[in-house]
Amino acid sequence: MKRVMFVCKKNSRRSQMAEGFANVLGKDKILVSSSGLEASQIDPLVVEVMSEVGIDVRNQASKSLKNFEPEDYDIVISLCGCGVNLPQNWVLREIFQDWQLDDPEGQPIDTFRRVRDEVKDRVTKLLKSLE
């Protein structure tokens, strides 16, 4: 089973969405974690827009990348263009991708929904590529 790390700046929006989708869509196929360059807290609008599509992320927590070891992961996905700020050993995993999705922070809920749908599309494509 492949081990995937989704990483973002604060692990509060995009990477939390990706973790939620990957846990549901990749169940029994991949092991999923998410983290941020710094820890924060999950944005309440993320909880709301994910629940709209039947995914409960209330029990997920914001975590710092410093709490993880790169050797424990096969795939690292940056969701915010922060790949340039990641330590080199994170970028050199079997698969590294930098999705560069918009940060919906402070935006209307429709922006959160658009980003959520983009995250779902990317996670779905990632899972298909691993089959």
Question: Which residues have a catalytic role annotated?
Answer: 8, 80
3-state secondary structure of 3: strand
Pick from 36, 92, 32, 96: nearest CA to 66: 36
Residue 60 to residue 107: CA distance in whole angstroms: 22
What's the burial of 7, exposed, middle or buried (CB within 10 Å: 0-12/13-18/19+)? buried
Host H or E run for residue 91: helix 88-91
| Residue 1 CB coordination number (10 Å) | 10
